[in-house]
Homo-oligomer: A and B are copies of this chain.
Amino acid sequence: MLLPEDFQYFKDSLARSDYSALRSILAEVNDVDIAELLEDLPIAQALLVFRMLNKEKALYVFSHFDDEMQQQIITAITDREVGAIINDLWVDDAVDMLEEMPAALVDKVLKNSLPEIRDRINQYFNYPEYSAGRIMTAGYIDFKKDITVAEALRRLKHVDRSVETIYTCFITNETRILEGEISLKDLLLARDDQPVSELLSSEPVYTTTITDQEKAAQLIAKYHLISLPVVDMEKRLVGIITVDDAMDVLVEEATEDFEKMAAIRPSEAPYVKTSAFKLAKNRFPWLFISLLTNLVISFVVDFYAPVYVAMPILVSFMPMLMGTGGNAGSQTSTLIIRGMAIGEITQGDFWRVQWKELRVCLLLSITLAAISFARISIIDPENILLALVVSVSLICGMLVGKTTGAALPLLAKKVRVDPALMASPIITTIVDVAAVAVFFSLARLIFGLPWEV
């Protein structure tokens, strides 16, 4: 791990052009940290240091750069250097990079890659976006099941650099169909002359190329795997997803859901690297939609103007009724959306969730209504009726909130709309309209307030 003083020493050595000091720092420092170091330098200096790295280290460092830095490097280096990188980069990392690149740079990259590499990259782009196929790597080890432990270990000793993990090895038959998996730990602990088939235990956990990347990552988490095999429609092994990539997927998907729930268009770039204009652009849509839906609410409120002109105190309860209903709704929808994201709640749970939320809502709303009732009737003992109207409206608002909050995410999923994206604006609008309408109608009825001023 790098300390600030290490970074200073690195910059000083660079300023002094002390290449031997630089080389010894680079040898000591982790690839992830080198990538971070270089991202903080002006591109000309970063390029200078990048070119000092040996080929293998350069590849690792390059794969750790963020999108912006990768693009800057590709722009700055020669065609020959581009070729050297792209032809040795792991295909999943290359695909990840190309997804975010402007067309001109994509051309520069593909033009300089070997035909077979280009073919492999294009094949990846055939898998759906955010699918397991897009993030898998072909850098895995597979054996036929009739070889011995000694033979397997001998082969492992000669794997090339492109293999991402040797800790789980896969067993396939003649037609490359996945039959099982063996951990390196089991291989090491076994007798040399044992056939590997004796080490096969339970049916391996696997996923398919077109499965959603989040589902694949959840399998890795659930079964505590180092790598997850990915098969095609015929159950032929075509790649693996490693645990580190799965971890990235889960963290990114959670961040995206946070953004969507806060009504922000998700972005891949970290906050500090995003410009104010870009941030504003990502936040604009839902603020704009919220402005439009508030038009509806305004009309409803305006419709009741005679009621609140006759009884102005009613207005002071509006924020509370809308707020409590909205909170009740977002509490429910957040729990449901997160439960769906981590696979704890499925479509099949629809009625179970509705029934549970109904009970939760009755418990909460009756308690809160009782508190409100007590509060208002203590402050203003004359006005038991007002206390009653507020309490009943509170219960209705929360019921509407909890019901839409429980139903919407599951319905959204059913019609294949992203639940996280749509829940919050719709719930707020429905709750606000319902709370206002119930409250003022009830007040008009109970207090016999006029329809016109």
Contact = CB atoms under 8 A, between A and B. Distances in A.
B262 A244 contact: no
B364 A284 contact: yes
Interface string A277-308: 10110011011101100110111011001001
Nearest to A2: B203
Interface stretch (A14-22, A75-83, A87-95, A183-191): A183-191
A247 B258 contact: no
Contacts of A250: 247, 250-251, 254
A332 B32 CA distance: 29
Copies of this chain per assembly: 2
A221 B248 CA distance: 7
A245 B139 CA distance: 25
Contacts of A315: 301-302, 305, 308, 315, 318
Nearest to A6: B203
A312 B308 contact: yes
A334 B266 CA distance: 12
Nearest to A349: B272
Contacts of A297: 316, 319-320
A294 B309 contact: no
B272 A344 contact: yes
A247 B221 CA distance: 7
Nearest to A317: B298
Nearest to A405: B262
A318 B316 contact: no
Interface in A1-50: 1, 27-30, 32
Interface stretch (A96-104, A108-116, A323-331, A381-389): A323-331
A316 B301 CA distance: 5
A84 interface: no
Contacts of A127: none
Contacts of A453: 312
A263 B335 CA distance: 11
Contacts of A312: 302, 305, 308-309, 453
> Which of A202, A225, A271, A345 has the most chain B CB atoms closer than 10 A to its own CB?
A271
Interface in A328-344: 328, 330-331, 333-336, 338-339, 342, 344
Contacts of A222: 32
A322 interface: yes
Interface residues of A, number: 109
A259 B345 contact: no
Contacts of A259: 334-335, 338
Given A221-B247, A280-B363, A335-B271, A371 B288 contact: yes
B258 A368 contact: no
Contacts of A367: 284
A30 B202 contact: yes
B368 A288 contact: yes
A263 B331 contact: yes
Interface in A341-378: 342, 344-345, 349, 352-353, 356, 359-360, 363-364, 367-368, 371-372, 375
B283 A202 contact: no
Contacts of A372: 291
Contacts of A248: 221
A215 to B, nearest CB: 11
A162 B325 CA distance: 52
**Which 3 pairs from chain A and chain B are nearest by CB?**
A262-B334, A294-B320, A224-B244
27 contacts: A29-B202, A30-B203, A32-B222, A32-B224, A157-B189, A220-B247, A255-B338, A258-B258, A259-B335, A264-B334, A271-B344, A271-B345, A276-B356, A279-B356, A290-B320, A291-B372, A294-B323, A297-B319, A299-B316, A301-B318, A301-B319, A302-B316, A309-B309, A309-B312, A312-B453, A315-B318, A319-B432
Given A276-B360, A294-B319, A305-B313, 10 more contacts: A1-B206, A153-B188, A167-B184, A283-B331, A287-B327, A287-B368, A288-B371, A298-B317, A305-B315, A318-B319
